[in-house]
Amino acid sequence: MCGIAGFSQFTNQIGDQETLKAMGQAIFHRGPDAGAEYLDENMGLSHRRLAIIDLSDAGIQPMHSHDNKIVIAFNGEIYNFLELRAELKAKGYPFKTHTDTEVILALYQYHGVELLQKINGMFAFALWDKEKQQLFIARDRIGKKPLYYCSHNNEIVFASELKALLAIKDIPKEIRLDSVYDFFAYQYIPDPKTIYQNIHKLEPGHYLTVTKDGINKKQYWDISFAKTSSASEPELKKQLQSLLRDCTKHRMISDVPLGAFLSGGVDSSGVVALMAKISAEMPVKENAEDNVEESVEKTAEDNAKESTKPITTCSIGFDEEKFDETKYAQIVADQYKTNHHELIVQENVEDNLEHIVSFFDEPFADPSLVPTYFVSQLAREKVTVAIAGDGGDEVFAGYEKYSIDHIENKLRAKIPTWIRKNIFPGLSKLSATVAAQLNINLCQRASSLLYSLSVEPAMGFYISNSFINDETWQNLITKETKTKLGDYHPSKQTTDFYNKCDGKDHLSRILYTDMKTYLPGDILVKVDRMSMANSLEVRAPILDHKLVEFACTIPSNLKFNIKDGKVEKKYLLKEAFKDYLPDDILYRKKMGFSVPLASWLRNELKEITEERLLNREQGLKQFFKEEQISKLWFEHKTEQKDHATVLWSMLMFQMWWDRYMTSAI
């Protein structure tokens, strides 16, 4: 795991060696083990290294091909690199290192950009072909590794994080107003947008080719629900178990200490169980410093650092019981005799919040960023690589919102369309008015339900996904903001993907939408930034693209299963893990990685929230009415109403603004 950055200068000079060093220094935390630069008359590359595979100096990047015609800066891991290396070596490629980086270089020389169809991993890389005078930039299929870029003075500037781009002189920082609206609606800014007008994210499953003639973007992979398997449930379960095992095993290849996040939920518990099973079946290595050459010549199975040594697991908890899952994590840790560590997040949130938020160089407000930072910090004290259960909810339909969405769609089907569309909007507004005047929470819920039922399923799913309703937004924004936004609405991000999906049923469409928006825009951003803040690599077996492709062929009723009126989310995944986990883990109520947000804002974060929201002239007040900010804050701190979500988003936005818009990076 690493950080990359660079720029072209085919016609206009962007920078020099010192510029590349500054870009690398901005993302030092992503790769504290080593750093280097490459610069010729047309291209500059910078790399920061977190050494995971082949710890020798031979793995330092930017790395050249054996004939010096190609140079690459690579961030990530290629899990099938050993198999690919063996194939390429048989063809006569003269490898100089034992890294997955050199495998990409070799693949490019044989297959060009089509190498993307052969590699399995998480990655973002920039490959400079000196002969073709072409830059090739690619991002992995699911979006685990980030890549930002912009066209600047008719050249391209790119990096793993925005802060490295901002190290370039005169990079424009004009705020993109629709991204501000997106942020408050989703708590993140969806691909390919960023908070800045002229800077973009490269979407998952896409690549760029850059020459002196310009930038060309292409998509090389997408999620497809077009085919549904006709296999029986037992057959699908067996296939899923095999895939889960293989994907986990491949992610246990490491030349540094490796462990796992363990929340006590189904996904992380299942992954830990698989790791323990795989580990127990493998022989203990006699010498931890086995010869690297011998290691590379073995298969991926032999090479996984699997032994009878206990798996290291890490959990985060809270002193408020309804948010604490550590007792469930302990059940799994005890069952598999892991080397378990836990940390209770108590009074250290305020002391660390400024530091934690600084790693998000555009507004980001998923509150679970806080425990994700602390569990990454805890893990890094023990290991360099952690395996996580990310992706289970999006791929196998695990969120509670899918149950709510199911109920709403049943109601939509039963209520005549003319009633829903003509009467429910008025009833929704009436309920909202009553809720506002009398502070009746039930009326507010009724208002939201009536409004959701009045629209079509795609828009209804947006409402389930959004964190600010239209009324609150319209009350907050200034006239100038409203005028500039025109008729823009963030729901377009959701409805466009919903309608693009090639699946035949509603569940497939909303899973596709979440895998194209929420997963890469929120979950994977959070995990990447918080793990990299602690120089920790995190791997997610459930997000292996082969497993995702297989899951998309599973009939929807085996993901969101309804039997005798009872809904079982993630049905087949739970069946696959049934051989490894007790019912107390598999069938308990889902908690999620939640935090006591309302309490934090009224107590330990009260002072910083009030100071940032009310005492800043720049930032929020350029878009929102001051009196409305004050009103929401007063109602929340006096416990008249719970405005925790929107106030947290405001706090995150203002903290970002104070760091990146009013001070030097």
Give CA–CA dist 368/528, Å, rounded.
13
User: Which of the listed ranges 48-62, 115-129, 457-471, 576-590 does the model predict with the highest average pLDDT?
Assistant: 115-129
Do 65 and 112 share a domain, yes or no? yes
User: Do residues 591 and 315 make contact, with C-beta atoms less than 8 angstroms apart?
Assistant: no
User: Do residues 529 and 361 make contact, with C-beta atoms less than 8 angstroms apart?
Assistant: no
Whether 50 has a pLDDT exceeding 90, the answer reads no
Domain boundary among 586, 615, 646: 586
Residues in the chain: 665
- Please state the rounded mean pLDDT for residues 239-247: 97
For the ranges 121-135, 280-294, 424-438, 650-664, the lowest mean pLDDT is seen at: 280-294
What pLDDT was estimated at residue 52?
73
Phi, psi of 618 (to 5 degrees): -105, 150
- Please state the rounded mean pLDDT for residues 82-90: 96
| CATH number (domain holding residue 308) | 3.40.50.620
DSSP H or E segment with residue 219: strand 214-219
What pLDDT was estimated at residue 438?
61
For the ranges 367-371, 386-390, 427-431, 516-520, the lowest mean pLDDT is seen at: 427-431
Any domain includes 377: yes
- Please state the rounded mean pLDDT for residues 169-176: 92
In terms of Cβ atoms closer than 10 Å to its own Cβ (0-12, 13-18, 19+), residue 176 is: middle
Any domain includes 367: yes
| Residues 130-158: tens digit of each pLDDT | 999 999 999 999 999 999 999 999 999 99
What pLDDT was estimated at residue 664?
45
User: Which of the listed ranges 319-328, 440-449, 582-591, 621-630 does the model predict with the highest average pLDDT?
Assistant: 621-630
What pLDDT was estimated at residue 592?
64
H helices, E strands: number in the chain: 31, 19
- Please state the rounded mean pLDDT for residues 242-251: 96
Do 172 and 209 share a domain, yes or no? yes
Whether 36 has a pLDDT exceeding 60, the answer reads yes
| Residues 554-596: tens digit of each pLDDT | 999 999 999 888 899 999 999 999 999 999 999 988 766 678 8
User: Do residues 515 and 136 make contact, with C-beta atoms less than 8 angstroms apart?
Assistant: no
| Residues 57-67: tens digit of each pLDDT | 777 899 999 99
Domain boundary among 560, 586, 612: 586
Whether 302 has a pLDDT exceeding 60, the answer reads no
Known active-site residue 501: no
**Catalytic hit among 2, 150, 247, 314:** 2
- Three-state secondary structure call for residue 12: coil
Do 539 and 600 share a domain, yes or no? no
Quote the tokens at residue 496: 């466009």
Range of the domain at 613: 596-665
Do 83 and 208 share a domain, yes or no? yes
The phi-psi region of residue 592 (left if phi > 0; otherwise alpha if psi is between -120 and 50; otherwise beta) is left
Do 352 and 389 share a domain, yes or no? yes
Do 653 and 540 share a domain, yes or no? no
User: pLDDT category, 177, cuts 50, 70, 90?
Assistant: very high
- Please state the rounded mean pLDDT for residues 618-625: 96
Domain boundary among 531, 562, 586: 586
Do 205 and 339 share a domain, yes or no? no
Do 179 and 306 share a domain, yes or no? no
Any domain includes 416: no
Mean pLDDT of the chain: 90
What pLDDT was estimated at residue 290?
40
What pLDDT was estimated at residue 318?
78
Any domain includes 188: yes
- Give 308-362 as a DSSP string: SSPPEEEEEEESSGGG--HHHHHHHHHHTT-EEEEEEE-TTHHHHHHHHHTT-SS
What pLDDT was estimated at residue 387?
96
Name beta bridge partners: 236.
none
Do 131 and 260 share a domain, yes or no? no
Whether 83 has a pLDDT exceeding 90, the answer reads yes
User: pLDDT category, 294, cuts 50, 70, 90?
Assistant: very low
- Three-state secondary structure call for residue 170: coil
Burial 330-363 (b: 16+ CB within 10 A, else e): bbbbebbebebbbbebeeebeeebeebbebbbbb
User: pLDDT category, 283, cuts 50, 70, 90?
Assistant: low
Any domain includes 502: no
What pLDDT was estimated at residue 56?
72
User: pLDDT category, 665, cuts 50, 70, 90?
Assistant: very low
Give CA–CA dist 82/285, Å, rounded.
19
What pLDDT was estimated at residue 593?
61
Any domain includes 454: no
Cα torsion for 159, 160, 165, 166, to the nearest 10°?
A: -170
Spatial CA neighbour of 247 closest among 43, 629, 541: 541
What pLDDT was estimated at residue 427?
80
Do 193 and 139 share a domain, yes or no? yes
What pLDDT was estimated at residue 262?
94
For the ranges 41-55, 496-510, 548-562, 641-655, the lowest mean pLDDT is seen at: 41-55
Do 558 and 616 share a domain, yes or no? no
Do 577 and 657 share a domain, yes or no? no
Whether 284 has a pLDDT exceeding 60, the answer reads no
Specify the pTM.
0.93
Any domain includes 432: no
Give CA–CA dist 81/95, Å, rounded.
13
- Please state the rounded mean pLDDT for residues 615-624: 94
Domain count, the chain: 3
Give CA–CA dist 377/364, Å, rounded.
19
What pLDDT was estimated at residue 445?
73
Any domain includes 466: no
Whether 54 has a pLDDT exceeding 70, the answer reads no
